[in-house]
Chain A
């Protein structure tokens, strides 16, 4: 029987009361992308529902402005 792969720990260390995620903080947003520039799932990012939505909106805004890539 094949061993199941150990899931990587969530990478977010953020409290929901912190200021909103800003699309201009590109270096911070880059941490929540896969090498192909896909947005990490909530399971891997470690965000709650609302924070994950903020993250998604911020990344999409940064992509629109040419700050981040859609695909790599």
Chain B
């Protein structure tokens, strides 16, 4: 007896940018390998993540509906845990495919479909991909604290005070 499941997969944007069709095929192939029958699959959205996941600040979500017998689900979970291109996944049992999902998936599968370009606000530098918002902070601000120059200046000021005290005594 088969059950219908909804699968939401958060994909690494590097794999998605290289080739969306290949990234989608990777997910559907893994599902098919474990005996699932993919009913429909489509690109749900590309979003900025609420918190960094494996160093990524953005990701593309793939929404798929598939049928599988209960025993095959463990294999699917294992495969997606091992695949580094899948950052997160969520499998939920559903009664039926929501209305309109098949049509949206068919639109994407049709010829002439163009993957929407990434938002213009992205412009992620390699530093930003690793450090997130910290990358925008000027580096000099961190270096300015306790620099050798300041330490020298501090010693110099102390020496001046000592010299002034000695002059007063004399």
User: Are A65 and B8 interface neighbours, CB within 8 A?
Assistant: yes
| A42 interface residue per 8 A CB criterion | no
Partner of A63, one of B10, B50, B92: B50
Q: In A49-68, which residues have CB < 8 Å from any B CB?
A: 61, 63-68
The number of chain B residues with a CB under 8 A from chain A is: 14
Residues from 73 to 113 in B contacting A, C-beta threshold 8 Å? 87-88, 90, 92
**Which chain A residue has the least Cβ–Cβ distance from B57?**
A66
Q: Give A28-60 as 1s and 0s: 1 = Cβ < 8 Å from B's Cβ atoms.
A: 000000000000000000000000000000000
Docked complex: B28-84 residues within 8 A CB-CB of A: 44, 47, 49-51, 53, 59, 61
Which residues on the B side are within 8 Å of A67 (C-beta)?
A: 47, 50
Contact B51 A65 (CB under 8 A): no
Contact status B90-A66, CB under 8 Å: no
CA distance A39 to B10 in the complex (A): 24
**Which of A24, A66, A67 lies at the interface centre, i.e. has the most chain B CB atoms within 10 A of its CB?**
A66
- Contact (Cβ within 8 A) B90 A61: yes
Q: How many residues of A contact B (CB 8 A)?
A: 11
Question: When chains A and B are docked, how far (Å) is the Cα of A51 from the Cα of B118?
Answer: 36
**C-alpha gap A66/B49 in the complex (Å):** 5
Report the bound CA distance from A12 to B39 in whole Å. 34
A69 touches B51 (CB 8 A): yes
Which residues in window 7-37 of A have CB below 8 A to B? 23-24
A43 to B22, CA, bound (A): 48
Complex interface: chain B residues within 8 A of A61 (CB): 90, 92
Q: Which 10 A-B pairs have the closest CB atoms?
A: A66-B49, A69-B50, A68-B50, A66-B53, A66-B50, A65-B88, A65-B90, A69-B51, A65-B10, A61-B90
Given contacts A65-B61, A67-B47, 20 further A-B contacts (CB under 8 A): A23-B90, A24-B8, A61-B90, A63-B50, A64-B88, A64-B90, A65-B8, A66-B10, A66-B47, A66-B49, A66-B50, A66-B51, A66-B53, A66-B59, A66-B87, A68-B50, A69-B50, A69-B51, A70-B50, A70-B51
